[in-house]
Structure 1
Amino acid sequence: EESQRLSESGREMFLRISRSARNMGQMITDMLELLRVVQVELEPRPLDMTALAHAVAESLGPQAPQLPIEVGELPEALGDATLLRQVLSNLVDNAMKYSRQQAEPRVWLGHDPALHAYFVRDNGMGFDMARAAKLFGLFQRLHANSEVPGMGVGLAIVQRIVERHGGRVWAESAPGQGATFWFSLPRA
């Protein structure tokens, strides 16, 4: 209501303050989510990872109907269904964000029996592996905020959940070649 009374410089400052407040609110929400993930008691059970992956794909699919999410056969895992759903959701959401700008974006969920690891792969912008050590750090981003939205918390949450299950998480990529995020879990 008061914007007409502000100078151009004042309006610019107000917009900057407003954006910063929204970002701070998102950071606080993300930190609370990370704290919840670290503190919640695990309830490991045998999980149908294929069904879980289909449920995640179905819930995230409407965000980008032009982006197919392909789910392969995934072996059962021993884990907490709520937390592992979050792992898949965070990884698929990232894959969607980073491949959305492709002419034919794609996301795949699968399992490699030789590595005993699940994966989420995309054909997006990828990243330089020289910077991969930063991937799972809190508030770490490899791409400018203007390119892809996010606060740099999702992969940190993924790593903590997978490690709490006794597994490990890693990534492979090259600029312009998409990315594959791998994670291992105890077998059911």
Structure 2
Amino acid sequence: MGRSALRLSDVDLNALVDAIRQDLAPDYAGREIVWDIAPLPRVIADPAFINLALHNLIANAIKYTRGREPAHITIGSEQNHDETQIYIRDNGVGFDMAYANKLFGVFQRLHRMEDFEGTGIGLASVRRIIERHDGRVWAEGHLDQGACFYFTLPRHPATT
């Protein structure tokens, strides 16, 4: 991920989110998830890398809402003057903001392995992908009240 060149092109985030949800459908079969997905903009980005970042964030929202009936996952965006902001919000287990700075570190886990499977590299990968696109990534959460993960991508003249 760190060495291969970005192959920037026009990316339809709506199509990516739809494909990711279909791909992850077996992971949430039999669960009640209320999806609230706003129309998302097109961005200039590397489609494979942005797919990987979104896949990770959506998979986490599905994973960390286990036990919520129903689970609520919201995906939306905001257009600012010089960047596009995308967010994925859930009503899952959340996290303590005191540890927010650890979320995007390699092998950092805020939840016990026995409670939630994973390697601890997913959010570090998301951070690396977004930073390679000259964007930013951050999260907000509260214990037992869910979390919201944000990332930005610079707006290019073609998408303004």
- Report the TM-score, using the length of structure 1 for normalisation: 0.77
Structure 2 residue 43 is matched with structure 1 residue 77? yes
Corresponding residue of 1:87: 53
Corresponding residue of 2:118: 150
Structure 2 residue 3 is matched with structure 1 residue 42? no
Corresponding residue of 2:97: 129
Give distance in 2, aligned partners of 1:68 and 1:55. Answer: 17
Shift of 1:108: 1.7
Native 8 Å contact 2:137 2:152 kept in 1: yes
Give distance in 2, aligned partners of 1:100 and 1:175. Answer: 14
Give distance in 2, aligned partners of 1:141 and 1:110. Answer: 26
- Segments of structure 1 that go 5 or more residues without pairing to the other structure are 1-36
Q: Which structure is higher in helix share?
A: 1
Aligned-residue identity in percent: 41
Corresponding residue of 1:97: 63
- Segments of structure 2 that go 5 or more residues without pairing to the other structure are none
Give distance in 2, aligned partners of 1:71 and 1:62. Answer: 19
Corresponding residue of 2:128: 160
Corresponding residue of 1:60: 24
Native 8 Å contact 1:126 1:175 kept in 2: yes
Between 1:167-176 and 1:105-114, the stretch displaced more is 105-114
Shift of 1:182: 0.2
Give distance in 1, aligned partners of 2:12 and 2:79. Answer: 16
Q: Which amino acid aligns with 1:53?
A: V
Shift of 1:79: 0.3
Q: C-alpha offsets along residues 17-68 of structure 1, whole Å, 9 cap, x if unaligned? A: xxxxxxxxxxxxxxxxxxxx11221001111111111111121122103234
Equivalences, count: 152
Shift of 1:71: 2.2
SS at match of 1:185: strand
Q: C-alpha offsets along residues 91-122 of structure 1, whole Å, 9 cap, x if unaligned? A: 00111110011121122211133584101111
Give distance in 2, aligned partners of 1:94 and 1:75. Answer: 22
Measured on the aligned residues, the alpha-carbon RMSD in Å equals 1.4
Give distance in 2, aligned partners of 1:162 and 1:69. Answer: 24
Native 8 Å contact 2:65 2:92 kept in 1: yes
- Report the TM-score, using the length of structure 2 for normalisation: 0.89
SS at match of 2:5: coil
Give distance in 2, aligned partners of 1:107 and 1:61. Answer: 14
Shift of 1:146: 0.9
Q: Pick the structure with greater CA Rg.
A: 1
- Structure number with higher relative contact order (C-alpha < 8 Å, ≥ 6 residues apart): 2
Corresponding residue of 1:112: 78
SS at match of 2:149: strand
Q: Which structure is higher in strand share?
A: 2
